[in-house]
Structure 1
Amino acid sequence: MEKEVIYNSDLYFEHKQWRRELFFWEDELKSFKNRLNEIANRWTDKNVLAELEHFQNQFINQAEVIDKMQHDINVHENKIVENTKEGEDILDLNLSRKHIEFRNSMETQRHIYGDLKKEFFRFLSKYL
């Protein structure tokens, strides 16, 4: 059976996709925070404000996760660049494992972020 070969260029392509996705999430969070400000200006009810604070905290957490993921992509990519400079276009086993772990983390984060968005949109529909 032939082994599958993973090339640095393939991983770089995936990194670019992840960066775009993370950038989009960052931009989206800014928009969500603006919506929270609109609600804060309209409502004084303690229950509404408590929910609002919950989303503020969730958005802060998401921003931190996004920053960490961007950092991790950069670290991983630097290692790929080192391999390429050494004339190695094929990723070594440890970097391949890291990449797969990160791919799984991105998939998990997509679900977490998607669920948060659904919850936030339900909140918006009640209070805007």
Structure 2
Amino acid sequence: MEVPTQSSDLQAQLSAWKGEVDNVRGSLRTMRSRLEEMAGSRQANHERMVEIEHFQNQFIRQLEVADEMFHDLKQSAKFMGYGRPAIIHHDRPVDDYDRLNDRMQVFHKLHEELKGDFSRFESFR
């Protein structure tokens, strides 16, 4: 992927990514709400409840990852705008565009897989 060279282009890309992360958060909240409806259903037998718990855990974890990603994108914007950010996570660098881009691609891939899995699970109501 081509790296934006202008600071304004980088800031625009980071803002777009933050918007995408917010969209994923909204999607996860919607799926979690539908999952809660399923859990309250009379059709929720033991096997179904095990699967519901699995998805609940997946949603919790993906929301945690979304929060980390959003935080790191904010840190990256600070890094580019004002110098080094106050907190640097060595396992999640915020000063490397290529690595942030890779992380966003993986983030999207995992979210799309989870949405697909949940959609298939939902269709077996």
TM-score with structure 2 length normalisation?
Answer: 0.84
Shift of 1:44: 3.3
| RMSD, matched Cα | 1.7
Q: Which runs of 4+ in 1 moved over 3 A?
A: none
Q: Percent identity?
A: 29
Unaligned runs of 5+ in 2: 84-93
Shift of 1:35: 0.4
Larger Rg: 1
Aligned residues: 112
Question: Do the aligned partners of residues 45 and 20 (structure 1) sit closer, same or farther apart at CA in structure 2, a change above 3 Å counting?
Answer: same
Unaligned runs of 5+ in 1: 84-93
Shift of 1:5: 7.2
More helix by share: 1
SS of residue in 2 equivalent to 1:70: helix
Distance in 2 (alpha carbons) for counterparts of 1:34 and 1:82: 39
Alignment of 1:103-114 (within 5 A): 103-114=101-112
Residue type of the partner of 1:11?
Answer: L
Q: Do residues 26 (structure 1) and 25 (structure 2) align?
A: yes
- Map Cα deviations across residues 11-40 of structure 1 (whole Å, 9 max, x no partner): 111111111111111111111111011111
SS of residue in 1 equivalent to 2:64: helix
TM-score with structure 1 length normalisation?
Answer: 0.82
SS of residue in 2 equivalent to 1:6: coil
Higher relative CO (Cα under 8 Å, sequence separation at least 6) belongs to: 1
* C-alpha contact 2:38 2:44 (8 A) present in aligned 1: no
